[in-house]
Amino acid sequence: MTVSALEVADFLNKSKHELIIDVRAPIEFFKGHVPYAINIPLFEDSERAEIGTLYKQQGKDTAVNRGLEIVSPKMTSFVNKVKALSKNKKVFVYCFRGGMRSNSFAWLMNTSGLDAVIMKGGYKAFRNYVLDYFEQERKIILLGGKTGSGKTDILKKLNEQNLQIVDLEGIAHHKGSAFGAINEQKQNPQQVFEHQLYHQLSELDSSQYVILEDESQTIGFNKLPHGLWQQMKQAPIVKIEIPFELRVQKLVEDYTTVDINALKACVEKIAQQLGTLNTKLCLQYLDDKNLSDVARLSLLYYDRAYEFNYKNKKQPIILLNSDTIDATINAQKVKQMIDTLN
């Protein structure tokens, strides 16, 4: 029985809302996978390592025979699991290169009465497809503003007004500063971050503007793909200006329920930039639960860094002043500005 193989784009298009199975080892899956794929590994990590060693030391035939010994007892459980998960018998399968692992698994599924296809070139081809995708030109507008301006809240309100947005910090699970990991789940490996970013962008209308927050290339330990980052460095920035004390208020609201020790650890990360005296003051303010003064001292540092960064920017910067921190009002102002750009 011949297994059908689809090119990457066709595979991704036809597998939407279908069962996608990554048959690579768990460690491979963890580092990166097709969005919404589940992992049903032919070989566990230790088994994959054993087969790899046999291949190098004793050759392909020995490795293949050992692989068959390992997989044979699992075949029934594979079939039962996939049948339980499949809604309409369609199954989309991939391994690393679209070779023996995905072909074998898809053959087994087809033999059991399911309709399985594989991805031509496997995960390696998918990675190249994604990286090439980030090189494609797109219409981008950046939302800028100093720390505490509520840019993420504004993005969400813009989305409610049917504008296309991608929340880079939301995908990265990090707010991009020394305090960025607070109240966030653990960051994903770089390839997972890129794939989730690709997925969100691919769902948008490329003929219309997409609004992103003006970020540095690194968000936590996730890094924006080179192709997208180069375009962001040329995109116009709508820079919203919010009064200092309103931004202090916003930060206090965001961090009022955070554990004091977690905040202290973040302050110590920027101790060199704050200076010895300001660091001591911040730590004392935290002991006194005086979040307002911690926010004021922190913002002095972040504002200096922000303005220094903006001096080096070469793209158009459109200033938008606001006397409120209300995200709904500010989103409306940003939308009106974007409408003029359109």
Q: Does residue 127 sit in the same domain as residue 146?
A: no
Q: Does residue 226 sit in the same domain as residue 324?
A: yes
CA angle 311, 215, 160 (to 5 degrees): 125
User: CB–CB of 149/240 below 8 Å?
Assistant: yes
Q: Does residue 220 sit in the same domain as residue 276?
A: yes
What does the pLDDT read at residue 39?
98
Mean of pLDDT over the chain: 94
Closest CA to 263 of 185, 184, 187, 182: 182
Q: Does residue 95 sit in the same domain as residue 153?
A: no
Domain boundary among 131, 154, 185: 131
Q: Does residue 126 sit in the same domain as residue 189?
A: no
Looking at the chain, the whole-number percentage of residues with pLDDT higher than 70 is: 99
pLDDT digits (tens, 9 = 90+) for 233-262: 999 999 999 999 999 999 999 898 889 999
What does the pLDDT read at residue 82?
97
Tell me the residue range of the domain where 73 lies.
4-131
Band of pLDDT at residue 59, cut at 50, 70 and 90: confident
Band of pLDDT at residue 1, cut at 50, 70 and 90: low
Judged against a pLDDT cut of 90, whether residue 224 lies above it is answered with yes
Average pLDDT score over residue span 152-179: 94
Check which CATH number belongs to the domain holding 244 and give it.
3.40.50
What does the pLDDT read at residue 340?
85
Find the range with the poorest average confidence among 91-100, 113-122, 239-248, 293-302.
293-302
Q: Does residue 256 sit in the same domain as residue 316?
A: yes
Domain count, the chain: 2
What does the pLDDT read at residue 195?
97
Q: Does residue 57 sit in the same domain as residue 189?
A: no
What does the pLDDT read at residue 341?
79
Nearby residues of 109 by Cβ (< 8 Å), 6 or more positions away: 78, 79, 82, 91, 93, 115, 116
Q: Does residue 199 sit in the same domain as residue 312?
A: yes
pLDDT digits (tens, 9 = 90+) for 75-112: 999 999 999 999 899 999 999 999 999 999 999 999 99
Domain boundary among 105, 131, 157: 131
Q: Does residue 263 sit in the same domain as residue 166?
A: yes
- What does DSSP assign to residue 189? P
Looking at the chain, the whole-number percentage of residues with pLDDT higher than 90 is: 80
Judged against a pLDDT cut of 80, whether residue 342 lies above it is answered with no
Indicate the residue type of 33: H
- The owner of tokens 């504008």 is 163
What does the pLDDT read at residue 40?
98
What does the pLDDT read at residue 312?
83
Judged against a pLDDT cut of 80, whether residue 301 lies above it is answered with yes
Judged against a pLDDT cut of 90, whether residue 273 lies above it is answered with no
Average pLDDT score over residue span 199-208: 95
Q: Does residue 46 sit in the same domain as residue 161?
A: no
Structure-block tokens of residue 220: 């936590």
Q: Does residue 200 sit in the same domain as residue 302?
A: yes
- The owner of tokens 């009064």 is 243
Closest CA to 92 of 79, 106, 78, 81: 106
Judged against a pLDDT cut of 80, whether residue 2 lies above it is answered with no
Average pLDDT score over residue span 59-82: 90
Domain boundary among 102, 131, 160: 131
Average pLDDT score over residue span 160-177: 94
What does the pLDDT read at residue 33?
97
Band of pLDDT at residue 67, cut at 50, 70 and 90: confident
Closest CA to 211 of 58, 86, 93, 330: 330
Q: Does residue 31 sit in the same domain as residue 127?
A: yes
Task: Note if 95 is an active site residue.
Answer: yes
The active-site residue out of 95, 114, 141, 338 is 95
Check which CATH number belongs to the domain holding 106 and give it.
3.40.250.10
